[in-house]
Structure 1
């Protein structure tokens, strides 16, 4: 079992022997004003939930909990479940198409033998459309023209970045370096894919052309940096920094920060102070449609 799958299974209670005993996880769904840094807890539960996406109309936040997807409606504070095939157990890699009409989900189904595959479904819920034939695969980005998905796949013992047509089809490998490549997300103009990579010996933020050519390292510091997500205007890139060198892991229950890379000035600044988070905090795109806010999850364990 890979590290990613084991961590997800542990947090979802599937492999209790690998998890701390008698632990209660409190999850806090937060938004943050990117300009002022003001944080607002909009929802919390004494259980584990993860990875919010902001809906394209700005009305709700989508997150996963215990293998299902839920919507938190920002105006009225209501939480409801997205109706999906009961055979699907969704993990924390999901998100919206550029037009907001579809949701892509990485998840496990009893009928596929337990591997994480990619599916799309209408944004209001409904039947699942399978997209790939191999697993495991974990989605992270959708091209702005709506035609291509970027995901991470474990093939031949190594995690690399792949693309596949949004309607399904043959996957294309984009990275070939040894060491983990993860977290691919498209720039708003579709020219680039941002990702995190261990190829330099430390997990850092990189960017490459959308066809996989000309990779360039964008951060070079003592943190372990994961999951870059460009803002709607492409000027900022948010990412998650682990305060300790996690090598090629992104575990739950660590001291982390959200940080911003300014693509105009090529400088990095802290968006938040250090908080308790990690896996589940900001795995997937979570910018508000107007680019003013981000959604993320922080945690407390008792």
Structure 2
């Protein structure tokens, strides 16, 4: 399903610095843009909207559609290939694709195995993808952490109980960071965790909880240098990662997730921080807010 803005709602693309500053770089009330990635050369953001892929040039502040073919409408799960030229995409048909960032024909990676595949991570060596598999696209079923070679083929399940989402490789490729309900009996109470990445001989070890909180925490993203991390925090009691809620985008040291360095309050949720949005030099990260006419995102 393609998301659209509500009447009186706009989308705001923000860039925040690790030193504390932030800038509203793009705001409009037409296409609902989501989930910014940062290109490898540091000049642009890549977002999805209206089922398409878009680039936003940071200097000129211009948006352009990426001309892709052979692919269905897209959702907001997209990850840039480590080489900086390719991009991996999740289609609304439940499959993962690869395409070139400058456009052209896309290639399907996953096969019809009875599951929907929601992409979140690519290994630093560019060989493996981490995704969430949901059986038959039935969202009442828990999401399972899975990996698959970028060339397609056999998938590997990871040993985590409870619903999981957002698996993303650490910069050194040793870990997968994700959110999970494995540590609680409370429905929807996602917490941040990590698990050793599978190495071809194993399916990972036991998950390690990064912190314990009363909030619902999703989508941990490590900076490219591995020193910092961002994630999105939903109010306690939230089930899933819905749109249009007061949420926090939180910056923490990667070695201590319990000590926030920055907390950005905004109206958003789904689409705000679904994928890794760190700049390649680890100094900035992007996110999207979706304020209504009655909300204000100019202040933290």
| TM above 0.5 | yes
**Structure 1 residue 261: deviation in Å?**
3.2
For the pair 1:271 / 2:249, whether they are aligned, the reply is no
Structure 2 match to 1:235:
227
The match for 2:121 among 141, 149, 155 is 141
**Structure 1 residue 265: deviation in Å?**
4.2
**Structure 1 residue 175: deviation in Å?**
3.4
**Structure 1 residue 267: deviation in Å?**
3.5
Q: Note if contact 1:257-1:270 (Cα within 8 Å) is conserved in structure 2.
A: no
Partners of 2:288 and 2:77 lie apart in 1 by: 14
**Structure 1 residue 266: deviation in Å?**
5.0
Structure 1 match to 2:51:
67
Structure 1 match to 2:29:
46
Q: Which has the higher helix share?
A: 1
Structure 1 match to 2:241:
250
Q: Note if contact 1:258-1:270 (Cα within 8 Å) is conserved in structure 2.
A: no
Partners of 2:127 and 2:71 lie apart in 1 by: 27
Q: Deviations over 1:29-63 (max 9, x none)?
A: 11000122x11111112032110100011111011
SS of equivalent to 2:264: coil
For the pair 1:203 / 2:190, whether they are aligned, the reply is yes
Unaligned runs of 5+ in 2: 199-203, 294-300
Q: Deviations over 1:172-202 (max 9, x none)?
A: 111341x210000100000000000011222
Partners of 1:57 and 1:180 lie apart in 2 by: 35
Q: Note if contact 2:163-2:180 (Cα within 8 Å) is conserved in structure 1.
A: yes
Identify which range, 40-49 or 140-149, moves more after superposition.
Answer: 40-49
The match for 1:123 among 93, 101, 104 is 101
Cα pair distance change 1:266/1:281, threshold 3 Å: closer
Structure 1 match to 2:298:
none
SS of equivalent to 1:250: coil
Partners of 2:94 and 2:180 lie apart in 1 by: 21
Partners of 2:125 and 2:242 lie apart in 1 by: 33
Q: Deviations over 1:252-298 (max 9, x none)?
A: 00111111332334532052332101000010011000000001101
Partners of 1:216 and 1:265 lie apart in 2 by: 13
Q: Note if contact 1:117-1:136 (Cα within 8 Å) is conserved in structure 2.
A: yes
Structure 2 match to 1:4:
none
Q: Note if contact 1:159-1:181 (Cα within 8 Å) is conserved in structure 2.
A: yes
C-alpha RMSD of the superposition = 1.7
Aligned residue runs from structure 1 range 29-108, under 5 A = 29-36=13-20, 38-47=21-30, 48-85=32-69, 87-108=71-92
Q: Note if contact 1:161-1:181 (Cα within 8 Å) is conserved in structure 2.
A: yes
The match for 1:151 among 105, 115, 131 is 131
Q: Note if contact 2:221-2:230 (Cα within 8 Å) is conserved in structure 1.
A: yes
**Structure 1 residue 219: deviation in Å?**
1.5
Partners of 2:160 and 2:175 lie apart in 1 by: 17
- Where do 4+ consecutive residues of structure 1 move more than 4 Å? none
Q: TM-score under structure 1 normalisation?
A: 0.87
